[in-house]
Amino acid sequence: MDLFHIIDDVQVITRSRGVFRQVALYRRGNTLFAKHGGGYVKLMSKGGTSAPKVSWVNIEESPLIKKDFNSFEPPVFIGL
């Protein structure tokens, strides 16, 4: 089973209904997720998430993360 694992020392800023939050970044395989309420939202391309009313604004720079905000590719975890 592939569980959620926190990526130490990396944060993501999310926005929901005009409220910005700095939250922990998680991975499940190579897919990135942000903590949201009691669960997680999947980070998708161009700031989108799996929850329509939640978006991500920025991810802290890290050699473990590959991201291009203007790309059609979602950000991904690239290794330990």
In this prediction the pTM is: 0.89
* Tens digit of each residue's pLDDT (9 = 90 or more) over 14-42: 999 999 999 999 999 999 999 999 999 99
The pair phi, psi for residue 46, each rounded to 5°, is 55, 35
Proportion of the chain above pLDDT 90, given as a percent = 74
Q: Provide mean pLDDT across the span 72-78.
A: 87
Cβ burial of 66 (10 Å; 0-12, 13-18, 19+) is middle
